[in-house]
Structures are given as C-alpha cells and as structure tokens.
Amino acid sequence: MKTLFDQTKLTGNKVFEPFTLAGITFPNRIIRSATFEGVSDESGKPTEQLLKKYEALAKGGVGGIITGFIGVGQQGKASDNTPMIDKAENIEAFKELTKRMHEMGTPIIAQLNHCGGQSKEESSHMPVVAPSKISDYKAKEMTKTEILEVIEAFVQGIKNAKEAGFDGVQIHVAHGYLLSEFVSPRMNRRKDEWGGSTENRFRILKMIFEKAREEVLSYPIIVKMNGYETLKNGMTVAESVKIAKLLEQVGCDGIEVSNGTIKAGLATMRGQVPWKMMIAQNQKLNKMPEFMKNFVGIVARKMVPQPQPKNLYNLEAAMSIREAVNIPIIVVGGITNLEEIEDVINNDKCDMVSMSRPFIIESDLVNKFRIGKQTQSKCIQCNFCIVGLEKGPLKCYYGKLPVSKA
C-alpha cells in the first residue's frame, strides 16, 4: 500500500520508540495532554462514557494519557461534573479506569487540580479563594490556614491516586488555576511568606512535594506549568526556568510546558475565536437577529486576545527549561503534524510531546501517524469544543453548531 511517506523514515525515529519517565514506560513519545471531558457523575466518579473515551485513545496508539483535571477538594470545583479524588468511594471507581488502561498497555497519569479563582461557588457551595484579590475573577484572599489545608488536600490526592492505580500524578500549575496563581508574579500579590520572591511564591509547591515524598516516596510526580504568560507582569521564561530548577530540587520527575491564564483569551489554545458557539450557548444572545450576531462576532474577535504564532508556541520556553534541568520535558501547544513532532523529538528539543484538540477529533491519530496513513491532524482549531463543554460532554464540532432539538 502506498503511504504518505517512506516507512524507512521510521528507522532511528525516536518518536515511536519507548520512553521511560520516572519508571513509567511509554510505548511512544506522543501522549494525550490533560483535557477536561465533562462526563463525571455528580459525586465526581468517572462514568462509563469517560472510560470509553480513554479506551478509544488507548486503541488509537497514544503513548500515554494524562487525565482531565481531577479535583483534590470541593472548594476547588469549577463545575458539577468535575471528577474528584477526595473520597474513598471515588478511589474505587478510578481503580476500574486504571485497570482497563493497564490491560491495554497504556500508562495513565492523574492530573490533580484546584481551580482557585476559576472555581464556581454554585458547584462547590463554598467561597471562591485565590492567593490574592485581582480583577481576573471574584475571589477572596486565602488565609494561611486555608493554604495549609490546600497543601494537605494535594498530598492526600496524590496518595489516593496511587491507591487508585494511576501510574503517577501531574500537579496542575498552569492556566491560571490555584497553584499557577501562586507562582505567577502577576496573580500573587501577597506580602507575607507566600508571596513576593520566587522562593516565597514557590513555597506552596515546595511543601506539597516535601510532604508528598514522605508519604509516597518515589511515586512519579510531574508538573504542568506555564513557561510564560502573555499578560503584563506575568510569568517570563526566565522566571519559569527558576521555578523549574526549584521543582527539580524538591523531587519533581518531569515538566509539561504550557502557557495561559483565563484573562489571556486564547493564549493557551490559539486558533479561531469560537464566537458562533459562544452565542449559541447563551440564551439571550441566541435570540438576537442574525445581523446582531454577526456584530457580536466582530466585537468578540477584536476583544479576545489572540497571541501568535498558532503552532509550537510553547516550544521555545520548553527548550529553555530543558537546558536548565535534568528531568524530562514535555511540550504541548499547537502541535498538529508529524513533521513537527519528529523535529522536536529527533533533534532533542524536548523529550515528549502532548496534544489535546487533535485527539478530540481523532482518537486514533497516533496509529495513523505511525503507519503513514496521515501526517496532519484534521483539527481546524475552531475551539467550539472548549465552549461546548459549558453545556455538555467534550466532543469535536468541526466548526459547526449543534442542531437544536425541537
């Protein structure tokens, strides 16, 4: 059968060779980056629908899976269907997920998170908290007691994930969630020992790692962090390098490099402003005449920050971090084709690559890459999938509005 590229290129191609990170052996170097799926039940247990999504990824050849974020405490919930790992009965439910993945030979890592200022009071039934009061969201500044409680919640979450059979955990320190808010000089305005210098802003992570290592010893713990922030006074690459070095010192096993905060618009994802989906999901806006909808679309495109470039936009930061530490570095963001992946891996720019949106439209993308059936993801970066999560489970819309039921 004629393929899109010569199969002999796979000789010496490290992309499809096994890679070991902290004792976890991945069958190849393309992994599914954490993607919120919106299909847990009200108690935070994974549903059969979620398990089927992961089974499709495993069958599709993905090197490993990082789960959509799993909450470590009720106060950090961002939606009613946030998966939670803070209860014993939920641990049992997650055991079925890890069992199925291991039967298929696919490593699975639990991403642990507290949404901080992006939490929703209507879901958590608790006040929204953040390191500081800033204009990005409505949240009260955390007390020192609350900070210590969050540290314990993360440590317990790591212990619970290990008990549930996950191969490791990823602590979410990106995208403007709680731990990201702490390490960011823009979002952490505290004047006490939890703010100010890099070391003070890092203190919460230092304590999480120190306490966790006492409990789980060498169990794999990696971090997802912003390599930079696009807004004024945000994280710089130089600052992220400092934090990466501190992470290595406290026992972090690997770093996935991303970027973005809620106020930075499409910095994390890039691509199109999904204004049609945004209007469709809003009852008031959806009732407007068509010409008014088009006007709202024009305004949205002008108002929502759209940083450039759209491809490999975290690679430079990831390479800077990789040069400064001796632990594996994973890069995510705007990776859509095999040629880019081969360049990153075969030229030792990063150790692994991770993708999110391409796997929403094609769970078998890695198999297609591996056999030469395809070299480019079908994802058009319409970002309808992100907005669609407000009303239902994660799925690809391919730039088309869902047909409303009469």
62 vs 363: CA distance, rounded Å: 8
Q: What is the DSSP string of 111-150?
A: EEE--GGG--HHHHSS--EESS--TTS--EEPPHHHHHHH
CA pseudo-torsion sign 373, 25, 359, 49: positive
pLDDT tens, residue by residue, 175-205: 999 999 999 999 999 999 999 999 999 999 9
- Contact between 66 and 111 under an 8 Å Cβ cutoff? The reply is yes
d(C-alpha 135, C-alpha 138), whole Å: 7
What the block records as the tokens of 187 is 């979002």
Q: Which of 264, 265, 176, 296 is nearest to 225 (CA)?
A: 176
Q: Domain coordinates of the chain in residue numbers?
A: 11-268+310-388, 272-305
Angle between helices 315-324 and 237-249 (to 10 degrees): 40
Instruction: Give per-residue pLDDT as tens, 235-257.
Output: 999 999 999 999 999 999 999 99
* Predicted pLDDT at 5: 35
Q: What is the average pLDDT across 56-68?
A: 98
Statement: residue 15 has pLDDT above 70? yes
CA distance 310 to 266: 10
What sign does the dihedral 333-338-343-346 (CA atoms) show? positive
Q: What is the mean pLDDT of residues 4-10?
A: 39
pLDDT band (50, 70, 90) for residue 9: very low
**Options 3.40.50.300, 1.20.120.640, 3.20.20.80, 3.20.20.70; CATH of 11-268+310-388:** 3.20.20.70
DSSP-assigned letters across all residues of 190-227:
--STTSSSHHHHHHHHHHHHHHHHHHHTT--EEEEEES
pLDDT score of 406 more than 50: no
Rounded CA separation 137/124 (Å): 16
Please, what is the angle between helix 198-216 and helix 237-249, to 10°? 30
| pLDDT value of position 305 | 83
Average confidence score pLDDT of the chain? 93
User: Which H or E run includes 34?
Assistant: none
At 28, give phi and psi (nearest 5°).
-155, 180
Tens digit of pLDDT for each residue in 312-362?
A: 999 999 999 999 999 999 999 999 999 999 999 999 999 999 999 999 999
**400 CB contacts (<8 Å, ≥6 apart)?**
384
pLDDT tens by residue, 101-145: 999 999 999 999 999 999 999 999 999 999 999 989 999 999 999
Nearest to 36 by CA among 93, 118, 117: 118
pLDDT higher than 50, residue 10: no
Distance CA 63, CA 31 (A): 5
* Least confident span in 35-49, 53-67, 163-177, 390-404: 390-404
Query: 144: burial class by Cβ within 10 Å (0-12, 13-18, 19+)?
Result: exposed
Specify whether the CB–CB gap between 164 and 91 falls below 8 A: yes
Three-state secondary-structure class, residue 8? helix
Q: Which pLDDT does position 61 carry in this prediction?
A: 98
Report which DSSP code applies to 33: P
Strand ranges inside 262-404, DSSP E: 329-332, 352-355
